Amino acid sequence: MKITVLTGGSTAERDVAFAGAAQVVVSLRNSGHDVTVVDTVTGPMTPERESKLLKSAVSRAAPDHSSVVNWRELEEQTGALGSSDVLNADLVVIILHGEQGEGGDLQEELDNAGVRYAGSGPTGSRNAMDKDRAKSLMREASVPTPDWVMWNGRDTDVTHLGFPLIVKPSRVGSTVGLSVVRRPEDLVSAVQEALLYDKDVMCELYVSGREFTVGVLGERALAVGEIIPEHEIFDYECKYTPGMSQEIFPAPVDEKLERRLKELALEVHRALGLKHFSRIDFLVSAEGVFCLEANTLPGMTGTSLLPQSAAAEGIDFDSLCNQICSLALA
């Protein structure tokens, strides 16, 4: 099958996308597929460029917002999505993160061009990418999620939430631009940091507890995993630096909690209108189980959380990639 992997992108998670694409490309080629790689910023990759970019490592530090602006300027000058490698592919596999890849516009362009792709469509992608919309849909589906407000200026009332708060850009992943705010006097500076990455900022009640994640493949909830970061939260450094977090699959939980997390993961997947695969993140505290967010294009390195969730169910990385492709073609 002729598969085109769309990767790179102009978001703060460009390096993360390349890291995932590197392993997906190898996996799909090992399975006998004819694979082409297209960077949405620079266009189709030559073998030399592919070899260089796909072997680059993810930095321990979160990217500076200025790099995002520079890549966007370059991206506007390329017609990567109109290349024959995309238009003539049997299937497009999207390894992109942040609003550009997961926000729905890319999916809408591919739909309009009649290109088949793996993953959620425009509506599901927009539902999950917009944290305010996602949490509202969770509430409508009776899925518990921490209380929140959207920032609308210095007079935004967060007093009913209390402190500490999580302040984060609404449409950015990998905890880029995220801060834990413990004092009212630190709120505005945290919002200003988040505004560097997105025009909409969420202030969310900080809930202390154990962090879990559940992969979803088709209509199946995969193994529950527990994340134990070295830092207070599972931040960028803990996500992408070996040894900075423990990721335990399957999680050491009783059958009742395991069943509850899997049920909620499928409920969120359906409520947001997601397709083919996703990863749903939770926090469990003394007050109960809370859904934090849904990821429509979760990380796809061999050690990323979705592949680990699948592996704990006996689905190795090559099988996971092939099953995702099969779901997209079904």
List active site positions: 13, 174, 240, 279, 281, 293, 295, 299
Could you give the 3-state DSSP secondary structure of residue 148?
strand
Q: Which residue in this structure is represented by tokens 């995993």?
A: 225
- Sign of dihedral through CA atoms 210, 201, 7, 67? negative
Two tokens at 34?
């004819």
Asked if 123 contacts 272 with a C-beta cutoff of 8 angstroms, the reply is no
Half-sphere exposure of 230 (CA within 13 A, CB side): 10
* CA–CA gap between residue 174 and residue 99 (Å, rounded): 12
* CA–CA gap between residue 216 and residue 227 (Å, rounded): 17
Two tokens at 166?
């999580």
- Amino acid in the structure at residue 97: H
